[in-house]
């Protein structure tokens, strides 16, 4: 199955979910035009309170639609954009990518994966039990966030549902993703 974008979403406010839109514009070094998390400095409320001058490593949030499939089978009602992602994908194992992997989305846009999205307790207010469902466990029993990945924009461009995704792995040693 080819790797594709299945939906794109954005929200001007710090809302939990983001409505789907026909296309988003990724802006190099800033993020998704018209999204509350756009900017060179951190915009996530929790992280901004701790260090407002930190670089924004969370410019674009990607979620794999395969997770929605898994969660629907467990009884949750989810759809693209429901838990705050900007880009919903299918056919690429986002959680297995190494840090600094680059994804070409459509004809021009290029993003670089910075880390895992660690879901917070707000997700249980959306649907009770969802936080536990999006936290997997590694063989040692430690929690593994399954809530997608975060990225920065390297090269801007428009992205829409149906766009192809091309994965470019970094040269050298592959570093695992950690929460950002």
CA distance linking residue 104 with residue 2, whole number of Å: 13
- Residue 136 contacts by C-beta under 8 Å, 6 or more apart in sequence? 143, 144, 145, 146
- Kindly report the backbone phi and psi dihedral angles of residue 80, in degrees, each rounded to the nearest multiple of 5, phi listed first: -55, 130
- Return the H-helix or E-strand segment holding 62: strand 60-64
pTM for this entry: 0.95
- Residue 129 contacts by C-beta under 8 Å, 6 or more apart in sequence? 76
Residue 142: the pLDDT is 84
CA distance linking residue 150 with residue 113, whole number of Å: 6
Residue 3: the pLDDT is 98
**What is the pLDDT tens value at each position of the chain, 180 positions in all?**
799 999 999 999 998 899 999 999 999 999 999 999 999 999 887 888 899 999 999 999 999 999 999 999 999 999 999 999 999 999 999 999 999 999 999 999 999 999 999 888 889 989 999 999 999 887 888 888 999 999 999 999 999 999 999 999 999 999 999 999
Residue 102: the pLDDT is 98
- Kindly report the backbone phi and psi dihedral angles of residue 100, in degrees, each rounded to the nearest multiple of 5, phi listed first: 75, 5
* Lookup: tokens for 135: 């936290």
Residue 156: the pLDDT is 98
**What is the architecture, at CATH level 2, of domain 4-168?**
Beta Barrel (2.40)
């Amino acid at each position: 199955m080819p790797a594709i974008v299945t939906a794109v979403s954005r929200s001007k406010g710090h809302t939990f979910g983001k409505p789907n839109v026909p296309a988003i514009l990724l802006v190099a070094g800033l993020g998704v035009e018209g999204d509350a998390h756009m900017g060179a400095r951190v915009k996530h409320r929790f992280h901004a309170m701790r260090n407002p001058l930190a670089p924004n490593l969370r410019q674009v949030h990607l979620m794999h639609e395969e997770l929605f499939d898994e969660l629907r089978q467990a009884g949750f009602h989810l759809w693209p954009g429901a838990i705050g992602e900007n880009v919903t994908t299918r056919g690429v194992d986002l959680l297995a990518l190494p840090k600094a992997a680059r994804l070409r989305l459509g004809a021009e846009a290029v993003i670089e994966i910075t880390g895992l999205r660690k879901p917070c307790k707000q997700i249980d207010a959306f649907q009770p039990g969802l936080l536990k469902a999006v936290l997997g466990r590694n063989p040692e029993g430690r929690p593994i966030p399954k809530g997608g990945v975060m990225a920065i924009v390297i090269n801007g461009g428009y992205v829409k549902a149906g766009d192809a995704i091309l994965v470019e792995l970094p040269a050298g040693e592959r570093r695992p993703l950690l929460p950002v």
